[in-house]
Chain A
Amino acid sequence: MQFPITYKNGNYLVVIQEDGTKIRTSVDSCFIPRYPESIDLKITNWCDMNCPMCHEKSGKDGKHANLEEIASLTRNLPEGIEFAIGGGDPLSHPDIVEFICFLDSRGIIPNVTINSNHLSRYKNVIDNLIKHDKIKGIGVSYDIAIPLEAYWAANTYQNVVIHLILGIHTTKDLKEIFDNVSHAKVLILGYKKIGRGKDFYSPEVAKNILGWYYRIHEFFGYKSKVIAFDNLSIEQLNLKRFFNEKNWNGFYQGNDGQFTFYVDLVKREYAISSTSGVSYSIEQDNTFESMFQNIRRKI
Chain B
Amino acid sequence: MKTIRKSVFETNSSSTHSISIDDSGANYTSITPDRDGNIVLKGGQFGWEIGDFNDPLTKANYCAVDQLSDEDNIKMLKNVLMEQTGAKRIVFDFSEDYKHTNWSYIDHQSVGTSNNAFKSEETLRDFIFSKDSVLHTDNDNH
Contact = CB atoms under 8 A, between A and B. Distances in A.
Nearest to A19: B7
B1 interface: yes
B9 A256 contact: no
A105 to B, nearest CB: 18
A287 interface: no
Interface in A237-266: 238-239, 241-244, 247, 249-254, 256, 259-260, 262
Interface in B1-39: 1-30, 32-33, 37
Given A229-B18, A243-B26, 5 more contacts: A20-B9, A29-B1, A111-B11, A214-B87, A260-B16
B18 to A, nearest CB: 5
15 contacts: A23-B2, A84-B11, A113-B11, A161-B9, A163-B12, A187-B8, A187-B11, A217-B26, A218-B32, A225-B22, A231-B15, A242-B29, A251-B20, A252-B18, A260-B16
A39 B118 CA distance: 47
Interface stretch (A63-71, A121-129, A135-143): A135-143
Given A21-B6, A161-B9, A241-B28, A220 B1 contact: no
Contacts of A239: 19
Contact of B13 (A20, A29, A139, A220): A139
A230 B23 contact: no
A252 B25 CA distance: 11
A145 B85 CA distance: 31
Contact of A227 (B9, B15, B20, B30): B20
Given A26-B1, A161-B8, A215-B32, A231 B14 contact: no
Interface residues of A, number: 81
B125 to A, nearest CB: 9
A99 interface: no
Contacts of A241: 28, 30, 83-84
B3 A253 contact: yes
Contact of A242 (B5, B10, B16, B27): B27
B12 A230 contact: yes
Interface string A204-217: 00000010011111
Contact of A21 (B4, B11, B28, B29): B4
Please indicate which of the listed interface residues A19, A41, A221, A234 has the most CB atoms of chain B within 10 Å of its own CB.
Answer: A221
Interface of A: 12, 19-31, 37-38, 40-42, 55-56, 82, 84-87, 90, 109, 111-113, 136-139, 159, 161, 163, 185, 187, 189, 192, 210, 213-218, 220-221, 224-232, 234, 238-239, 241-244, 247, 249-254, 256, 259-260, 262, 273-275
Contact of A55 (B1, B5, B10, B14): B14
Contacts of B33: 214
Interface residues of B, number: 38
A282 B32 CA distance: 47
Contact of B16 (A25, A243, A253): A253
A256 B32 CA distance: 30
B111 to A, nearest CB: 30
Given A24-B3, A82-B10, A226-B7, A251 B15 contact: no
A298 B6 CA distance: 29
A79 to B, nearest CB: 15
B102 to A, nearest CB: 23
Contacts of A250: 2-4
Contact of B8 (A226, A232, A262): A226
Given A229-B19, A251-B21, A273 B2 contact: no
B9 A136 contact: yes
